[in-house]
Structure formats: C-alpha cells, structure tokens
Amino acid sequence: MHDPRFKKLLQEFFAEFFWLFFPDWAARFDFGQIEWLDKELVSDAHEGESRFVDVLAKLATLEPIPGPDGRSAESWLALVHVEI
C-alpha cells in the first residue's frame, strides 16, 4: 500500500537519501543527471529467468575511481539498487 509512495519519495529525494545514509559515498556521485532504469533484470540468460527490482538508478561519478587493478577510466557510472 505504501510501497509506491516510498518509491516516488526516494526518486524525488535520492540525493538527500544518499547524503543522509551514505555521506562518504554521496560525495562521489553526480546527482544532477540520474537515469531511472527499467526494473526488470535477467539473472540467467540461458534459462531466461527474470526478476524485478524496486528502484534502480544509473548515475555518473564526479571523479574517476581507481579500479581493482589501480587504473582509472575517464569516468565511471554507478548502478544503485534500493529495495523498498
């Protein structure tokens, strides 16, 4: 019953949510251009099983983040999945 309201609030105040609960991570993201992605994910391409997520956002990082190998790209994108 309240699920759609929480999803809408989270999308509307996504940056504030991040700054409140994950301030160290929030400083890394560009919240100016969030792309809300389709909520269906295919978990196994061979069997065609799909699952649905509540909120999935794609956003860019403000600065390149070094990868595990120590190299960094010009820019990075992050996928943030929040389950209500």
Per-residue pLDDT of the chain (84 residues; tens, 9 = 90+): 667 788 888 889 999 999 999 999 899 899 998 998 866 555 665 666 666 667 889 999 887 767 777 776 666 788 887 776
Burial letters 41-71, b for 16+ CB under 10 A, else e: eeeeeeeeeeeeeebbbebbbeeeeeeeeee
Instruction: Give the Å distances, CA to CA, from 62 to 5, 32, 75.
Output: 29, 10, 8
d(CA 26, CA 21): 9
Residues 6+ apart with CB under 8 A from 23: none
Pairing of strands 55-60, 49-52: unpaired
